[in-house]
């Protein structure tokens, strides 16, 4: 039976080799991937401590790490909450992410780090994403869509060998997601994202960097257009 509530899906990973604070960080990020946490949502130490059956010390440590990653904020009045991001914040993050990821793609091609085996892995990730379209449960669909999108882009980030850029881009991915979770329409359609990813793969296979960068920019433009529509809808509410 399909679960209509986003909160009904509880994604968990194998935490056996992680320390307790890493468990909390991963758990929060999985909730973000599933659309269960969005910009402005409060996080309570006690709730996470009870949910994961751990003490509150590792939760506090995880909160500090999430704050450093730009995912969590703290104020005496509101306590700990998922970072509140405006439409202007989202646009600014995209203005940083797009050229940075284009640098990553350029590095990969300059140093000839992409091969057919890599493209087959990317195609597998893309296929796994679209296969989730038939999954039961809206939250699971959102989770798999975002997870496979992250893994797709993450593959390029790591392949570049620029781990500083990869770290920044991953943090920005989650920052964008907490903002876009306010309206899941901004995440895009699975088929649309699948086709855009495939165009990036095809351009990589053809070996023309200019075409790769153009395919990537088109992919990002889809998100920017969705954000613009969301902004217009919000203005009409006022």
Question: Do 176 and 218 belong together in one domain?
Answer: yes
Expressed as residue numbers, the domain containing 137 is: 87-237
CA angle in degrees (0–180, nearest 5) for 226-229-230: 85
Share of the chain above pLDDT 70, in %: 90
Give the confidence band of 183 by pLDDT, cuts at 50, 70, 90. Answer: confident
pLDDT at 60 > cutoff 50: yes
- The string of DSSP codes covering the chain is -----GGG-------TTS-HHHHHHHHHHHHHHTT---TT-B--HHHHHHHHT--HHHHHHHHHHHHHTTSEEEETTTEEEEPP--HHHHHHHHHHHHHHHHHHHHHHHHTT---HHHHHHHHHHHHHHHHGGG-SSHHHHHHHHHHHHHHHHHHHHHHTT-HHHHHHHHHHHHHHHHHHTTSGGGG--HHHHHHHHHHHHHHHHHT-HHHHHHHHHHHHHHHHHHHHHHHHHHHHH-
Which of these three, 25, 51, 82, is where a domain ends?
82
Distance of alpha carbon 33 from alpha carbon 48, whole angstroms: 17
- Residue 1 inside a domain? The answer is no
Question: Do 119 and 22 belong together in one domain?
Answer: no
Average pLDDT of the segment spanning 55-67: 94
Pick the more confident residue, 233 or 110.
Answer: 110
Question: Do 111 and 195 belong together in one domain?
Answer: yes
pLDDT at position 136, please? 66
pLDDT at position 2, please? 34
Question: Do 144 and 231 belong together in one domain?
Answer: yes
Say how many domains are in the chain. Answer: 2
Q: What is the pLDDT of residues 202-227, one digit of tens each?
A: 999 999 999 999 999 999 999 888 88
pLDDT at position 227, please? 85
Give the confidence band of 5 by pLDDT, cuts at 50, 70, 90. Answer: very low
Average pLDDT of the segment spanning 48-70: 94
Distance of alpha carbon 193 from alpha carbon 68, whole angstroms: 30
Question: Do 40 and 59 belong together in one domain?
Answer: yes
pLDDT at position 229, please? 82
Q: Find out whether 100 and 173 touch, Cβ atoms under 8 Å.
A: no
The dihedral built from the CA positions of residue 148, 21, 60 and 5, taken in this order, carries a sign that is positive
Q: Find out whether 203 and 214 touch, Cβ atoms under 8 Å.
A: yes
Question: Do 65 and 175 belong together in one domain?
Answer: no
* Mean pLDDT of the residues in the chain: 87
Which of these three, 82, 111, 132, is where a domain ends?
82
CATH of the domain at 192: 1.20.120.530
Q: What is the pLDDT of residues 116-173, one digit of tens each?
A: 999 999 999 999 998 877 666 777 888 888 999 999 999 999 999 999 999 999 999 9
């Amino acid at each position: 039976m399909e679960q209509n509530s986003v909160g009904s899906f509880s994604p968990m990973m194998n935490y056996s080799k992680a320390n307790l604070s890493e468990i909390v960080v991963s758990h929060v990020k999985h909730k973000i991937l599933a659309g269960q946490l969005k910009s402005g949502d409060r996080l309570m130490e006690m709730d996470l401590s009870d949910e994961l059956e751990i003490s509150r010390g590792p939760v506090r440590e995880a909160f500090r790490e999430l704050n450093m990653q730009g995912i969590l904020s703290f104020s005496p009045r509101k306590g700990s909450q998922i970072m509140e991001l405006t439409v202007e914040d989202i646009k600014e993050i995209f203005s940083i992410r797009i050229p940075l990821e284009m640098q990553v793609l350029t590095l990969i091609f300059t140093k000839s780090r992409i091969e057919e085996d890599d493209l087959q892995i990317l195609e597998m990730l893309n296929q796994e994403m679209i296969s989730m379209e038939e999954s039961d449960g809206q939250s699971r669909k959102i989770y798999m869509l975002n997870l496979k999108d992250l893994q797709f882009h993450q593959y390029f980030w790591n392949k570049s060998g620029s781990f500083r850029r990869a770290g920044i881009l991953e943090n920005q991915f989650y920052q964008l997601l907490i903002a876009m979770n306010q309206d899941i329409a901004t995440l895009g359609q699975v088929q649309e994202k699948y086709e855009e990813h495939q165009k990036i793969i095809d351009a990589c296979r053809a070996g023309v960097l200019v075409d790769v960068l153009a395919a990537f920019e088109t992919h990002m433009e889809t998100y920017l257009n969705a954000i613009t529509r969301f902004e217009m809808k919000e203005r009409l509410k006022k």
